[in-house]
Amino acid sequence: MTYLQNIFLLLIITIACSCNKQTPMQFADNKVVAHRGAWKANNLPQNSIASLKKAIELGCVGSEFDVRMTMDSILIVTHDPDYHGMQIEESTYEELSKVKLSNGEILPTLESFIIAAMTNNATTGLVCEIKPSKDKSKNILMAEKALALVKKHKAEDYILSYISFGYNILRKIEEIQPSAVTQYLDGSKTPSQLEKDGINGLDYHYSKFKYKSSWVDSAKEKGLILNSWTANDEAIIDWLIDLEFDFISTDEPELALQRIQKRPISKGYKLVWADEFNYKGAPDSSKWAFETGFVRNLEKQLYTKDSSNVNVKKGNLRITAIKERLPNPSFVSLDKKSWKQNWQYADYSSGSISTKGLHGWQYGWIEVRAKLPKGRGLWPAFWMLGNNQKEVRWPACGEIDIMEHVGFKPDSIFGTIHTQAYNHMKKTQKGKHVFIDQPYDKYHLFAIEWTPEKIDFLLDGQVYNQVINEHKTTDEWPFDQEFHLKINTAVGGMLGGKKGIDDTQLPSEMLVDYVRVFQKQ
């Protein structure tokens, strides 16, 4: 071979190697697993090599895909048991591959998928879901063949995990390759059972974790991997991020990557307390206490413990203001100076709950996701008072109004602080209002970020008011102490009743999806 021929051959080899470049894997530092690849936003076929490549391009930590076996024992990547009217287990790969995917790709084999994943990819692991066969005797064969293909191409480092609804499939993988990472999908096994059987993690539908919340802590204690599918709703994605799940499988990887950057955890906060309201009945008495009777602000409602006013169902705390005549249990006589004792009846009822005496926090990120009640005269609020209220009274104890809304101004919410120096009695309170879109028809996120230097008020992640610590006295800044949280819907009162009360809007219900408190450790 001549010198020029040698140079030409070397050039061809160099080009070939660069086209099939294998880069050492270091999985991306995020939780996002693109479910069947990043297909949705890009209008690509699910389980296609194109959707895999898009997941790699996005930098997802993983790209999930589904594996089935044809009649001639070829492992292919597809989700459903049939493909364009052909039963996969009763068809050969040659027959199936004649029908291309919508983007023109040939139906991928597992082998072609592995090769594609090893090309120009250093961050996105394969999450290989092996679909159980109708013929259970084939499940073990599929596990063996999948591991053999990975071994053939020396692709072990590219596998983030093996997942399956077939428990025997996962146990076989663990038997053949103990170093493999396996996660069970069915949702029927406790963390203890998985640990006992050598399965590495839970990959359950998020609804399972909603109603088996203890499994999250149990899995963490046992060092098991936590994943959840298929989280496409922003609120569900946020919840999984806040609970520090290891992975989140989603059809919306772009959204999930954005949410990771926007959640308090990205700023160094950790979830320290929450109520997700995933139960039925009265609010959790270990977290909430009721306020009852006439309480404040010349409000017209009697706060009660009755389930018609306060209850938890269908994943929400529900506080309902009702038009009804009720006797005032604190009534003494019409001559009493105190309005709380000289009002014989209330014309309305509603609910108010508080963490006073149960939980308090000094600094942090506190947020409430809720849909507000509609009606002129209603005054829903999420707010906080200093725990020294009994000793120094209001306003010296300090007040933080995370969110106030009045029904006569339906397009606005308010974020305000009250102190000895700055309060509504002196008309010096520090507050701002901001436009809110569809407060009665959509859930919104109301939050504060409270530090020793400032309090930021946020609506749906956007700061609209900031109060700075002037470093004077506690008259200006009483916020270096623990505060407790209140949630209520008032009727009428000094602010809510300024434009009267529209009884035709009652009953009116506030829905609270969750309350979460984050703090820096």
Calpha distance 132→184 (Å, rounded): 12
Strand 462-468, strand 454-459: pairing: antiparallel
Alpha carbon 433 to chain centroid distance? 27
Mapping DSSP onto H, E and C, the string for 153-172 reads CCCHHHEEEEEECCHHHHHH
244 is catalytic: no
Calpha distance 331→347 (Å, rounded): 14
Catalytic residue among 174, 195, 252, 404: 404
234 is catalytic: no
Output 421-426 pairs: Cβ under 8 A, ≥24 positions apart.
Answer: 421/475, 421/476, 422/476, 423/395, 423/399, 424/495, 425/395
Calpha distance 220→117 (Å, rounded): 30
Q: Which of 234, 242, 196 is nearest to 216 (CA)?
A: 242
Q: Is 458 helix (H, G, I), strand (E, B) or coil?
A: strand
**Cβ proximity of 270 and 519 under 8 Å:** yes
Positive or negative torsion for Cα 166, 167, 171, 172 = negative
Query: Angle at the Cα of 274 (from 270 to 280), degrees rounded to 5?
Result: 155
Query: Angle at the Cα of 498 (from 334 to 423), degrees rounded to 5?
Result: 90
Give catalytic residue positions.
399, 404
